[in-house]
Amino acid sequence: QSVLTQPPSVSAAPGQKVTISCSGNNSNIGNNYVSWYQHLPGTAPKLLIFDNYKRPSGIPDRFSGSKSGTSATLGLTELQTGDEADYYCGTWDDSLIAAVFGGGTKLTVL
Amino acid sequence: QVQLQESGPGLVEPSQTLSLTCNVSGGSISSGGYYWSWIRQYPGKGLEWIGYIYYIGTTNYNPSLKSRVTMSVDTSKNQFSLKLTSVTAADTAVYFCARELHSSGYWEVDFWGQGKLVTVSS
């Protein structure tokens, strides 16, 4: 059971947009920045978003992040088949004194 | 570009100690400012943060694993290691080494290794 809650799966057609939610509480998302990761099984996960909405160099602006209260959202626009992957949110939890993650969301581009 | 690579046995017997090493290239562990961590992914795909070590040896472990975890760093070899004692089948997972940034209010992992599958079985 993951500390942060994500939908198990989302899907959309190529060229469309999708959002992935990440829900927590005041000990984690409510009091700390959120980061998002893209993971293709068998490869190294990739940092997509940090500090709630910032993108590392090389990450296209089709990827966006936002946070409100104890929830965060990852947005993807102009979907491509290459975006099919598992997406995870992560943050620090002040009560658990540990980093915590969501259970992951599998994105399917139909 | 920092690269991390995990190495170690892929099969560990129950009650034994899991030992993994992470070799870092493209950057020095001793440069400071970053924490070197271990994260595992269960077969059901959930991620669990195991803990981190700083280049001077300071550690911070997940309280849920603290009694069984030891991390160490070898700056001369630019690598760091994980030991997890008394393993059971529940410790079967893909183990990632990673570089993380952590300060008051923020935490993130900017580089990950590809992961090492470790199976606990007799």
Interface contact A103-B100, CB threshold 8 A: no
Amino acid residing at A37: Y
- CA gap B54, B71 in Å, rounded: 10
| pLDDT at residue A5 in the model | 97
- CA gap A37, B62 in Å, rounded: 20
Q: Which of residues 30-69 of B touch A (CB under 8 A)?
A: 39, 45-49, 60, 62-64
Interface contact A90-B109, CB threshold 8 A: yes
Residues sharing a CB contact under 8 Å with residue B24, sequence separation 6 or more, in sequence order? B2, B3, B4, B36, B78, B79, B80, B99
Q: What tokens appear for A42 in the block?
A: 């068998």
- Nearest CA-CA distance, residue B43 and chain A, Å: 11
Q: What is the pLDDT of residues B28-71, one digit of tens each?
A: 999 888 999 999 999 878 899 999 999 999 999 999 999 999 99
- Residue B103's pLDDT band, with cuts at 50, 70 and 90, is confident
Low-confidence ranges of chain A (pLDDT < 50): none
Residues sharing a CB contact under 8 Å with residue B86, sequence separation 6 or more, in sequence order? B15, B17, B68
Interface contact A37-B109, CB threshold 8 A: yes
Reference A105, options A39, A46, A42, A56; nearest CA is: A39
| pLDDT at residue B43 in the model | 87
| pLDDT at residue A94 in the model | 94
- Nearest CA-CA distance, residue A34 and chain B, Å: 8
The β-bridge relationship of strands B116-120 and B11-12 is parallel
- CA gap A50, A72 in Å, rounded: 12
Q: Name the residue with higher pLDDT: B105 or A61.
A: A61
Interface contact B109-A2, CB threshold 8 A: no
Reference B62, options A91, A96, A5; nearest CA is: A96
Number of residues in chain B: 122
Q: What tokens appear for A86 in the block?
A: 């598992």
Placement of tokens 């581009």 in the chain: A109
In SS3 terms, chain A reads as: CCCEECCCEEEECCCCCEEEEEECCCCCHHHCCCEEEEECCCCCCEEEEECCCECCCCCCCCEEEEEECCEEEEEECCCCHHHCEEEEEEEEECCCCEEEEECCEEEEEC
Q: What is the pLDDT of residues B2-36, one digit of tens each?
A: 999 999 999 999 999 999 999 999 999 998 889 99
- Nearest CA-CA distance, residue A92 and chain B, Å: 6
| Strands of A71-76's sheet in order across | A18-23, A71-76, A63-68
